A and B are shown apart, each in its own frame.
Chain A
Amino acid sequence: MSVYCGLDIGSLQAKGILLRDGHPLFRTIFPTGGNAPETAKKLFQALLEGGEISSDEVKTIVATGYGRISVPFATKTVTEITCHARGIAHFLPQAKTLIDLGGQDSKAIRLEKGKVMDFVMNDKCAAGTGRFLEVMAQNFKLTPWELGELSLQAKNEVSISATCTVFAESEVIGLIARGLPREEIARGIMSAIAQRIAGMVHRLGLEEPVAMSGGVAQNPGVVKALERELGVSILIPEEPQMIGAWGAALIAQEYA
């Protein structure tokens, strides 16, 4: 029985999955760190160990994510745009719009029967990505997830006007120092991200159902803010951060 592997070497986290018979055999996540080729190798080793198989049993490997070219042993590389689309088509085939929020970039993807019809990526700056949330959360001495949870407690919102990550950070520090309610600032941060993402989605044209993938889809604050901003409810697969790797493994299986 053949095994297929998907490796999603992201800007922050490297995700890997092995599929056998279309079922996951093993999956894991590593921080990408400064040495993507080394991380990819270790991730693959870890998958083999976890799946208790040898590398010969892996028929095809598809690499995706920013570090996809750092995987010399991959059979094929495919962009995260196509992989996320393929992954979401597996779990939520009804989705017509997919929002992928990762560590350093965000994408809105238009889908038609699981195929990418068009996409928009964020501009060169990191505002509106996971990295933005991490910087903001540090000011509260919280994790991004905790910051998201905190934002859900707010009834009102303190709006953040700066779009630049660095300026938004000093704005937030100022707001905290002025003693404004922390949960309201947190909600303002979530809305700031949501507005950026909504702009990209509208450029493609909002078509329901809307699904979300990428690590940031695990942040309840961001999801809520996006639902508010777009006026729709958003479908989230069980493991949104693994969707790119899933897609890569499914493509590996089809490629073979």
Chain B
Amino acid sequence: MNLGNFVQAKLQDGSAIRLLRSPWIYRFLSLFLRSQSPSVRFSFHLARDAYLKRKPVAFTSLFFPTELVYALGMVPFPLEVIAALISSMGMAVPFLKKAEEEWYSQDLCSFHRLGMGLALQDYLPQPDVVLSLTSLCDGSHRFFYNVSRLFKVPHFLIEVPGNGGKKDQEYVVRQLKRTRMELEALLERKIKKSDWEDSLGYSNSLREELLKIYELQAHVPCPVSGEAALGNVGLIFTCAGSRWGPELISAWRKSIRENASSENYRLFWLHLRPYYPAPIFAFLKERGVSIVGDELSNYIWPRLDPKNPELSLSSKIYANFGLGPIKNRIDNIVRLVRERKAQGVVNFSHRGCRQSTGGAFLLKEALKEKGIPCLILDGDCVDPRELNWEQMRTRIEGFLEIL
């Protein structure tokens, strides 16, 4: 039995709300678990722990350092990642509509709109806390604040200013410490030294595995599927700090086969991709296009030190090159483009996302100066109603013809 298909069918017929909270269903599904891929097993454990409330649940924003969540014995429930997952099952529209009926504007990021639709339809587990960062996304803390109000639970927000200078780091470290202490009080559980060692240790091993994937991405032809890498972004951020982290990324690496098929173009991808079923990646493959990396799955942080957990997590947060002046982002993109021998860059400008669209022009100009062609591809990662495939195809083809 394919567990993914089964779950999808249940979600579609609406019986899932009840099923998601039924211990029986997890008992039944666990019979088939052994033969499933690590990512399915990880998702199973995450859903079971969250919906059956086996552990305290934290709703988290994408860049929130989940190492802290795992060290506290909680289960993270990453709402933006769940939105992408629902969209990939072709089920985004009813939830988006629900949120729109409740006055969530179509101009808002659809990751958040869809998350709100799920919350309003009672599809989410009851959280104990909501944890988010201001890092990168200016819509996210408002969205997470609204969610915390809806579920009547505390919202812990870490403000991430500047670009990681000494003062910025100190400020973030202080907030992380305070958040940790308040969470410890709330959960009546103190983080032990061994908890940090486990959580940061797993995160370090995951990091090692990711570095191996990056090496493969530089191979010509590139054996790593760009679609898969972009699909794994949510996983990378959700499993960091859990024992699943290294296993998941190592399984991904082992599934990569050296690619003998011809490669006509090498492109570097910015921001995310459409998660709903869309012909874009099949089309790129047909044209012999390799996506040799993307800025989010290539987010790499310094090794974390269990003796200095909060400072380590703060440096992980500041390793995000989308932070600070756009020069950071541009320099890193140019470095990666050169490392991966990419011929051009695609910036997927997600509707409603200030940070992926706002800098598009500066980015394009800066890349042009370095002789790197850049395609600004407007679209939506989650809302399939926004797709105009014919236009998108002409844009991509026109860009390939320039190369």
Contact = CB atoms under 8 A, between A and B. Distances in A.
A116 B391 contact: no
Contacts of B277: none
A78 B391 contact: no
19 contacts: A79-B394, A79-B397, A80-B394, A81-B394, A81-B398, A81-B401, A82-B398, A105-B391, A105-B394, A116-B398, A116-B402, A117-B402, A118-B368, A119-B398, A121-B395, A124-B378, A124-B386, A124-B391, A203-B361
A125 to B, nearest CB: 10
A66 interface: yes
Contacts of A118: 368, 373, 402
Nearest to A117: B402
Nearest to B390: A66
B60 to A, nearest CB: 33
B388 interface: yes
Interface in A88-108: 105
Q: At the interface, is chain A mostly helix, strand, loop or mixed?
A: mixed
A208 interface: no
Contacts of A171: none
Interface string A120-131: 010110000000
B402 A121 contact: no
B390 A116 contact: no
A124 B388 contact: yes
Contacts of B391: 105, 121, 124
Contacts of A203: 361
Interface of B: 361, 368, 373, 378, 386, 388, 390-391, 394-395, 397-398, 401-402
B357 to A, nearest CB: 12
A203 B364 CA distance: 11
B395 A116 contact: no
Which applies to chain B's interface (DSSP): helix, strand, loop or mixed? Answer: helix
Q: How large is the interface on A (under 10, 10 to 19, 20 to 34, 35 or more residues)?
A: 10 to 19
A217 B401 CA distance: 25
Nearest to A77: B397
Nearest to B394: A79
B345 to A, nearest CB: 13
B402 A66 contact: no
Contacts of B394: 66, 79-81, 105, 121
A105 B398 CA distance: 14
Interface in A46-89: 66, 78-82
Contacts of A121: 391, 394-395, 398
A228 B378 CA distance: 29
Contacts of B390: 66
A118 B395 CA distance: 11
A80 B398 CA distance: 8
CB-CB nearest 4 A-B residue pairs = A81-B398, A79-B398, A79-B397, A82-B401
B274 to A, nearest CB: 14
Contacts of A66: 390, 394
B388 A116 contact: no
A124 B391 CA distance: 7
A110 to B, nearest CB: 10
Nearest to B376: A120
A39 B394 CA distance: 20
A203 B395 CA distance: 16
A161 B391 CA distance: 26
A87 B391 CA distance: 21
Contact of A79 (B361, B368, B373, B401): B401
Contacts of A82: 398, 401
Contacts of A78: 401
Contacts of B386: 124
Nearest to A65: B394
A89 to B, nearest CB: 14
A124 B394 CA distance: 12
B122 to A, nearest CB: 33
A79 B361 CA distance: 24
A141 to B, nearest CB: 31
B369 to A, nearest CB: 13
Given A79-B401, A80-B394, A124-B388, 4 more contacts: A78-B401, A79-B394, A105-B391, A121-B395
Nearest to A66: B390
B279 to A, nearest CB: 11
A123 B398 contact: no
A79 B395 CA distance: 9
A116 B378 contact: no
Nearest to A109: B398
Interface in A120-146: 121, 123-124
A102 B175 CA distance: 56
B286 to A, nearest CB: 12
Contacts of A80: 394
Contact of A116 (B361, B368, B401): B401
A119 B373 CA distance: 11
A185 B175 CA distance: 60
A203 B361 CA distance: 9
B403 to A, nearest CB: 10
A82 B395 CA distance: 11
Contacts of B368: 118
A124 B373 CA distance: 23
Contacts of B402: 116-119
A116 B399 CA distance: 9
A100 to B, nearest CB: 11
A26 B90 CA distance: 48
A116 B397 CA distance: 12
Which of A80, A124, A203 has the largest number of chain B CB atoms within 10 A? Answer: A124
A118 B401 CA distance: 10
